[in-house]
Structure 1
Amino acid sequence: MIIISEVVHNGEVHFQVNSCFVSMISILCPNEKILVRAEENHIIALRKNLRKDNLENVEFLSFDKYYDAKKYNWGSRIFGEFIQISKTLLKGRALNNKIYIWTCLFPTGHFFLNLITYFQKNKKHIIILHGELEYLKNKNKTKAENIFGRILKAGMNLSTNKNKYIVLGDNIKNNLYGLVSNRILKKTFSILHPYNFTIQEKLQEIKDDNKLIIGAIGTQMLSKNSQCIYKLAKRFEVSIMRDEIIFRTIGKVLPELDSYKSDLVENLYSSTFVSQEQFEIEISKLSFVIFFYDDTAYELCASGAIFEVIRMGIPIISIENDFFRWLFNTFGEMGFLCKDIDSLEEILKGLKQGSFKNEIDVFKNNISHFKIQNDLKNIALNMKPLL
């Protein structure tokens, strides 16, 4: 018996990557019974995403949502996570489970899990690390972030040698040197961020190649430098008015960006929920997806958004950052990396004039190879030693 538990996220948050872990564990352990435990709407999203997979050995067990994402409350989130961790462990004990896979934990969840399992050294716990690693950074942190960083580090130090960690990129493990102990590094394994790259044929037929449409996807916020799309659009105001180029955001735009907004950028679903299906349809209409992440954002976590873009076969334009540099150096260029917004502007001017056709062909070819090389079966093989 293997239990895969998501105790942090509700609904469709992280459902793509969690679906991939369910598929990969099923591939690696076809004769093992697998129980997936998560919030009710997250289970619905997983089931829908996995409906075409042959998962006869997988069962799903849901629990009620314990916090409201619209009304952020640290107390309810922390206490609720403690309860769900405990319930997962109790379920595992009843089923004589020996392997637990935790798809995401908050720093307090790391501490709580490793504290209560410290004396249960016959069980194996595999913890997948995401954005919580950002709390380990030493620069530009608030008091709360410092506290969470210390709690996370203390929790990791409590972990037994049977407990293993997974990070989603070699560059992330390299960046952990000096932030965690050598003991933790030795039991931290790196795999590529898993993603299901299959795509519906109808999505490949939507794009209008006669228009240059530049889009930023996902939640737009200051920490992602999302305000830059409005600054960039201002530089192309005349071209926008002539309908030579379109700038667009797809996804929620946080109120902190209100002072930057302008009519030069189309904001789709900026204040309403967008389903994954509609999200994909809108992305498929884009010529390029633009990112403004810098090294302050993605040294210690992977960008799930870029894998959605790769899945759709769309090249990117981005400010250079550690994760994208590593990805392109390892698997080939899949878009333009620019030193600053001025360089990014020059690329867009060239694209508007029809330049870079050879480069774009290379990008699309690399994207195709990347998807073949990194299908779930191949990534799953890198997880085999952990199980």
Structure 2
Amino acid sequence: MPSRKHSSVLRHTPDFHKNEQMQTEKGKDIVILDNVIIGNNHLIINSSMLEIARQLLDGQQGKVRYYSDPSHSESVVALLPEAYKNTFAFNAIPVIHPGGRGFEKIALWRKKLYLDSRYFKKVCKDVAHTKPQLFLITTMIPFNLYRFLSKLNTLKNQQVLIILHGELEAVFCNNPSLTARINGYFYKKILKKAGNNIKFLVLSDYIKDSLANKKLIGQDRLISINHPLSEYQRKNLTVSGPVVFSHLGVANKRKNSSVIFDLARETFQELPKDALQFNIIGRVDLYGADYSKPDFVTIKSKHNQSISQEEYISFIEASHYSLIFLDNTEYVYRISGSVLDSVQYQLPLIALEHPFINELFEKGGDIGFLCKDLEEMKQVVLRLAQKDPLYSSRYETQIINLRKLAAKFYSGNVAEIISKAIKPA
């Protein structure tokens, strides 16, 4: 049940297939479905997509109707603009995350697949009857998307948009994981068999070009958007005191995060400790090594637990540069939240060359330092810590450029891209 705090906004309609309850005019609404996410996961992108959908209504009298798990709706609604909350209608569908082991896990998967099918058919029945201007699917597991594809293909005159998330890595990478290989198999089938009424949203030009080059689907069926970000403006445009270099988010193997410890150790062999500071803003999840008391690196997490969003932003605001150690094998076909946070909070990047990061530099210009290897990264850190004017004088320009780049990720600009892509020629 919705909390009392949001009771005026969260109008869950259990019998949503009864169209007289919807109070909607045909062709005006936008329907959004997410039958995967629960709780606080995917909050930024899903709340942003609801706000984008509201903007796509363009002053019409329609509503944005969101079908999702109630726990997720509760979290999403808190991020929506207060002035427009009556534009949204929330409809509850059950979402199961199969846990457990053995027969328990099998039983939960059977229940999940049954409920997913049952409620998807109801949503499609509603879509077929009310004919919304757009049917958007924000998250769906590849197997479900594959088995529901024929139903989506029958909605011939209905515009359908499907967001493709990080599982796309399975299409391109030789992952030893059985789950990844299965997901890759289904995604390839989906892209080849999707009807002409279906288009796919991907979160970078690089992903769009890679899919098109693989000849799985035509460019005209792919829409590249920037991962939506919330608006923010960094106030401090100068560096004073020790230069603070921070790794954003959880430090783990996929991010190549252990490099920060070696970088800090080598840097402090050449510079005094009061010249600079290295932080990890989040917990450390590096198996096989004990970083509970690391030399030279401050871990901004108590007892290696997750930190609050307020603390996270505060630590970022106290930093000067974002250290990104991604190599060309990770986060190529999924978007790194740490990189996006660097853009959103306008923290100049010091990063290794990487397809998505290269794309950001191409779009944003001087937004930091793009390094060909770790040795060059070390030299950049040394020069900045020594306040070398050839490097440090670019700081204000880098923040201003990041501010301009971040604006391209705001909902209004993303809505404009989607609007142009879905309008008939």
TM-score over 0.5 for the pair? yes
Distance 1:225 1:77 in 2: 34
When normalised by structure 1's length, the TM-score is: 0.87
Secondary structure of the 1:224 match is coil
1:1-387 counterparts in 2 under 5 A?
A: 1-29=29-57, 30-31=59-60, 32-52=62-82, 54-63=84-93, 66-67=96-97, 76=108, 80=112, 83-84=115-116, 86-94=118-126, 96-98=129-131, 99-183=134-218, 185-198=219-232, 204=235, 209-238=240-269, 242-256=273-287, 258-259=289-290, 262-269=294-301, 271-355=304-388, 356-384=391-419, 385-386=421-422
**Cα separation, 2, equivalents of 1:180 and 1:336:** 34
Q: How far 1:134 sits from its partner (Å)?
A: 0.4
How many residues align? The count is 382
Q: CA RMSD in A?
A: 3.1
2:156 match: secondary structure:
coil
Change (3 A) 1:179 1:260: farther
Whole-angstrom distance in 2 between the partners of 1:34 and 1:284: 35
Alpha-carbon shift at residue 44 of structure 1 (Å): 2.7
- Cα shift at 1:353: 0.2
Q: Give per-residue Cα distances to partners, 1:168-214, cap 9 Å, x unaligned.
A: 2212211223434244x431111222212235xxx847998323221
Tell me which moved more, 246-255 or 321-330.
246-255
Shift of 1:50: 1.4
Change (3 A) 1:372 1:299: closer
Question: Which 5+ residue runs of structure 1 have no aligned equivalent?
Answer: none
Contact 1:168–1:192 at 8 Å: present in 2 too? yes
| TM-superposed deviation, 1:354 | 0.6
Contact 1:111 1:156 in 2 (8 A): no
One-letter code of the match for 1:386? Answer: I
1:386–1:134 CA distance, 2 compared to 1 (3 A)? same
Counterpart residue type for residue 104 of structure 1: T
Q: For 2:368 and 2:110, locate their aligned partners in 1 and report how far apart those are by CA, in whole Å.
A: 39
Counterpart secondary structure, 2:136: strand
Superposed CA deviations along residues 246-290 of structure 1, whole A, max 9, x for unmatched, are 222222432526356624322233742333233222222211111
Name the CA shift for 1:65/1:210 in 2 (closer, same or farther; >3 Å).
farther
SS in 1 for 2:394: helix
Deviation at residue 26 of structure 1 after TM alignment: 0.3
3-state DSSP of counterpart to 2:398? helix
The one-letter code of the counterpart of 2:78 is: K
What's the CA shift for 1:17?
1.6
Distance 1:82 1:332 in 2: 49
Tell me, yes or no, if the aligned pair for 2:265 and 2:295 is still in contact at 8 Å. no
Q: Which aligned segments of 4 or more residues in structure 1 are displaced greater than 6 angstroms? A: 68-71, 205-208
Output one character per residue of 1:116-169: Cα deviation in whole Å (capped at 9) or x when no partner: 434443443210112111001144544442222112211222321111101122
For normalisation by structure 2, the TM-score amounts to: 0.80
Give unmatched runs, 5+ long, in structure 2.
Answer: 1-28
Q: Identity across aligned pairs (percent)?
A: 22
What is the deviation of 1:238? 4.5
The answer to whether the 8 A contact 2:332-2:356 is kept is yes
1:243 alignment partner, SS class: helix
